[in-house]
Amino acid sequence: MAGFDPYSPCPCGSGEKFKWCCQKVESYVEKADRLYEGNQIEAALDALAEGLRKHPENALLVLRKASIELREDRVASAAETLRTYLVIRPHHFQSRMLLARAVLDLEGPVSASAHLQNALGLAEGDDRIRLAGLYDTVAYIFGRMGNVLAAFRHFEQARQLEPNEPREDGSPRTNVIRDLMTSPEIPIYAKSEYRLSPTPDGLPTDLASRFDEALSWAESGSWNVAASAFEALSADGAGSAADRNLGLLRVWVGDTKGAIPALRRAVSGMGETIEAVDLEALRQLLEPEWSPQTLDEVQLTWPLRNREALLDKLRSQADVVDEGPGPIDPGDEKSPEVQHFLVLDRPNPKPAPGWEPNGADLPRVVFTAFVGKDIAGINTVDDKDLSLHIDRFTALAVPAVPPAHPKTKIIGRTNRAQIDLSPRRYIPDGLEDLVVERIQRAESSRLISEVWTKLESNHFDGKSPLEASKRGGSRTALRAAAMIFESSYDLGWSRERADEFRKSLGLEPEPTIDPTVIPLREVNLVRYSYVEIDKLTTRELLEYYLTARTRGLRAATAAACARLIDDAGAREELGVPLSRLYADLAGIAAAEGDRSRSLELLASGRASLPSDASISSTMAWEILEIRLKSRVMDPTEWVPDLATVIERYQDDPEASQGLILGLVGLGLIHMTPEPDSPDRMLVDTRPLRALLTKYGPRITTSSGVLGVSATKSGVWTPDSETSGKTTPGGIWTPGSTKPAEGEKPKLYIPGR
């Protein structure tokens, strides 16, 4: 750097002027900066180390050294530099913050969260805003790891630290939260907000005072300190509220193992209440369901005498499926390639038109086989059926392989319960995607009813659910498990199907919730479909609808849409367009694989659009239609409609930007910053091009351009040139004009 203003705040973070703080080490810092800019990394670090030998307490030297080490990916060295300094000055905020960043790379988000809390306790003024970005990063990594509750809590802390940060859709933080909230892969219980329990009435004065203090620590973001306080309160008899708070705080910081016993104690002290059931469901999602007893996954190999003879033999079998070539070890980039086969328990069926089998009609994959250049073998599990698998393969393989004892290699471990609950069914080619989805949902439902109920589980003290239901005493745990299954999108259970399952376990249906008794804000998300929505006020109905919609609660969203469709007055008061309600219902039907229902609702939504709707609104609806049709229709049916939409709006300045964003949302074009102008975006249309080329309209113009109609304007494709537009290199921007010679086409999107 050029130099320091002696009267500006010192960059070490002391708050003093540079002249009276770190000016004495200025020469070391400037020398290190010059060397680093000249790519003399070691010399720059040596210069800073020399300064630290003379001034070991100087924060500026430490920060410069750690920053260079982090930039050069020497994370362990940076952490050691910072830890050494924090022994001398444990309350230095910038060192604490930088250490949190280093620890995130070294040890992961749990450790980083603890260091962030330490830094937060030292932060003042703008320091708190500086921490918001790190909380966002830790939250994102928690989310990627599947620890959604910890992710949400860290995102919320970032919001509190940076209250003026824009919250509208489109900000990185909002986008990540939205994706987590709407993902069907994340259980609804993990999307719910769990507030800490207030100080219980009736506690002795000293315990109540300590409880209040622990809550204040939690409110300030010192979650680990608060957890320690609640742990002590639990030991001193503060009851289930202390255990509940302890468990939630440990979930927030990613300490799943520590949260489980605290939540178990809390549930045991709450009785068979709705709150206890929902907390137990959260505990079950955190705790492994089965004991760690595992089986070896083994790979057995034999030397190969005649490769072609074995390939011909396997391919001739009605109960063997050729899966094609691939590495023998998918996790090893240098793994040799082999030919893979699936060995089934019965012949592979040939689908006839209109055939819709159930899971039991489909063959099960017994084991997999492979044929390499010099070896052949099988992958299977070392259980009671292992010798049967060996005998079956050798019966097929001899004389292409010698009848010798195979070479055995352990390639992994698996749980017996997982094998029982995941019988691998082979789905033959020719079945429609929607048929396959229905088969998979039905098979999952069957496995829960017929297999899961008979498996011994940690959630029921080592008993199977059926045994637990007969012995009594496990009703809260059984109700929680039933609620988890009911809220799983993959199962597609109706309320009636869920109640039948409960009945098989000796349980009654879950109670409905009266919002005049239990406020909507206190209702767990998983129970939204149990809310008596006819008792909601108009404003509460809007809150209910928006929450259900943004959290991906299908049943609740459908119920809210149905009520609003029937209540024109409420729609008008709340400003909810009728078309949006039909679009929501069409999306739910598409996600559930109901093609005819989805298309019927789309037609109703289009009919509900006002006659004076703007071009951009109409285009947005048509893109939505394409998105939903792509879920329930073959590409040959919906891609021509997409081509029509592109042709209709590509020349319209009002709709062109919305068209681009709609195609981005469909994953058909990709946007990347232009290297020379990061504020401008280049649009890669190759996925769209491939789709239109394969499935688009087959009418061509005299110039050879694919089109909906044989007109010169045609339908745009990346290699075409229509209406003065050009698309060199597969980059195109709707509404753009032909660029000047040597100029790249660009799309400028304000705010991006």
Distances (CA, A) of 276 to 11, 198, 284, 523: 51, 16, 12, 13
When comparing pLDDT for 293 and 422, which is higher? 422
Is residue 709 pLDDT above 50, yes or no? no
Query: Taking the mean position of all CA atoms in its chain, how far away is CA 581?
Result: 26
Confidence class of residue 740 from pLDDT cuts 50, 70 and 90?
A: very low
Element (H, E) at 671: strand 670-674
Is residue 155 pLDDT above 70, yes or no? yes
* Sequence-distant (≥ 6) Cβ neighbours of residue 273 within 8 angstroms: none
Distances (CA, A) of 607 to 561, 581, 582, 603, 640: 17, 13, 10, 6, 21
Confidence class of residue 710 from pLDDT cuts 50, 70 and 90?
A: very low
Q: How far apart are CA 562 and CA 551, in angstroms?
A: 18
**Residue for token pair 């007893």:** 293
Amino acid found at 259:
A
Q: How far apart are CA 556 and CA 688, in angstroms?
A: 35
SS3 505: coil
What angle, 0 to 180 degrees and rounded to 10, lies between the N-to-C axes of helices 240-252 and 148-161? 80
Q: Are 629 and 613 in contact (CB under 8 A)?
A: no
Is residue 726 pLDDT above 60, yes or no? no
Convert the pLDDT of each residue in 26-51 to its tens digit: 888 888 888 988 889 899 999 899 88
Convert the pLDDT of each residue in 616-629 to its tens digit: 788 888 888 888 88
Flag the least confident range among 17-21, 362-366, 463-467.
17-21
SS3 143: helix
pTM above 0.95, yes or no: no
Q: How far apart are CA 553 and CA 546, in angstroms?
A: 10
Confidence class of residue 678 from pLDDT cuts 50, 70 and 90?
A: low
Flag the least confident range among 155-169, 406-420, 444-458, 658-672.
155-169
Q: Residue 676: what pLDDT?
A: 66
Q: What is the DSSP code string of 41-79?
A: HHHHHHHHHHHHHH-TT-HHHHHHHHHHHHHTT-HHHHH
Is residue 374 pLDDT above 90, yes or no? yes
Q: Residue 77: what pLDDT?
A: 92
Confidence class of residue 611 from pLDDT cuts 50, 70 and 90?
A: confident
Q: Residue 173: what pLDDT?
A: 66
Q: Residue 282: what pLDDT?
A: 94
When comparing pLDDT for 559 and 615, which is higher? 559
What DSSP designation does 354 have? T
Q: How far apart are CA 242 and CA 37, in angstroms?
A: 54
What DSSP designation does 25 have? G
Is residue 1 pLDDT above 80, yes or no? no
Q: How far apart are CA 569 and CA 537, in angstroms?
A: 13
Per-residue pLDDT averaged across 629-650, rounded? 85
When comparing pLDDT for 311 and 647, which is higher? 311
Assigned token pair, 371: 């044929």
Q: How far apart are CA 384 and CA 236, in angstroms?
A: 51
pLDDT > 90: percent of the chain: 47
When comparing pLDDT for 433 and 232, which is higher? 232
Q: Residue 454: what pLDDT?
A: 92
Q: Are 745 and 731 in contact (CB under 8 A)?
A: yes
Distances (CA, A) of 661 to 468, 605, 691, 733: 53, 21, 17, 11
* Sequence-distant (≥ 6) Cβ neighbours of residue 357 within 8 angstroms: 349, 439
Is residue 245 pLDDT above 50, yes or no? yes
Per-residue pLDDT averaged across 491-495, rounded? 78
Assigned token pair, 521: 């804000």
Convert the pLDDT of each residue in 170-219 to its tens digit: 456 667 777 778 787 788 888 888 999 999 999 999 999 999 999 999 99
Average confidence score pLDDT of the chain: 84
Amino acid found at 520:
L
Q: Residue 714: what pLDDT?
A: 33
Is residue 89 pLDDT above 60, yes or no? yes
Q: Residue 463: what pLDDT?
A: 92
Count of CB atoms situated within 10 Å of the CB of 483: 25
Confidence class of residue 725 from pLDDT cuts 50, 70 and 90?
A: very low
Per-residue pLDDT averaged across 56-75, rounded? 90
Q: Residue 675: what pLDDT?
A: 67
* Sequence-distant (≥ 6) Cβ neighbours of residue 718 within 8 angstroms: 685, 686, 688, 689, 727, 730, 731, 732
**Residue for token pair 């199977």:** 464
Q: Residue 330: what pLDDT?
A: 82
Q: Which long-range contacts (CB under 8 A, 24 or more apart) does 594-597 make?
A: 594/632, 595/434, 595/632, 595/633
Element (H, E) at 321: strand 320-327
Closest CA to 381 of 347, 422, 348: 422
Q: Residue 545: what pLDDT?
A: 95
Q: Residue 246: what pLDDT?
A: 98
Q: How far apart are CA 244 and CA 498, in angstroms?
A: 28
Is residue 741 pLDDT above 50, yes or no? no
Count of CB atoms situated within 10 Å of the CB of 358: 11
Q: Residue 644: what pLDDT?
A: 87
Helices (H), 253-380: 256-268, 274-286, 307-315
Q: How many residues belong to the chain?
A: 752
What DSSP designation does 90 have? T
Q: What is the DSSP code string of 630-666?
A: HHHS-HHHHHHHHHHHHHHHTT-HHHHHHHHHHHHHT
* Sequence-distant (≥ 6) Cβ neighbours of residue 126 within 8 angstroms: none
Q: Are 734 and 649 in contact (CB under 8 A)?
A: yes
Confidence class of residue 737 from pLDDT cuts 50, 70 and 90?
A: very low
Q: Residue 242: what pLDDT?
A: 97
Say if strands 320-327 and 294-303 run parallel, antiparallel, or are unpaired: unpaired
Closest CA to 110 of 188, 187, 223: 223
Is residue 696 pLDDT above 50, yes or no? yes
What angle, 0 to 180 degrees and rounded to 10, lies between the N-to-C axes of helices 26-37 and 41-54? 170
Q: Is the peptide bond before 349 cis (omega within 30 degrees of 0)?
A: no
Helices (H), 89-163: 93-107, 109-122, 126-145, 148-161
SS3 124: coil
Confidence class of residue 164 from pLDDT cuts 50, 70 and 90?
A: low
Per-residue pLDDT averaged across 139-164, rounded? 87
Is residue 590 pLDDT above 50, yes or no? yes
Is residue 716 pLDDT above 60, yes or no? no
Convert the pLDDT of each residue in 514-558 to its tens digit: 999 999 999 999 999 999 999 999 999 999 999 999 888 989 999
* Sequence-distant (≥ 6) Cβ neighbours of residue 692 within 8 angstroms: 639, 642, 643, 706, 715, 717
Q: What would you measure as the largest C-alpha separation in the chain, in angstroms?
A: 90
Q: Where are the beta strands (DSSP E) in 351-462?
A: 365-371, 375-381, 407-415
Is residue 270 pLDDT above 90, yes or no? yes
Assigned token pair, 294: 């595992």
Q: Are 180 and 143 in contact (CB under 8 A)?
A: yes
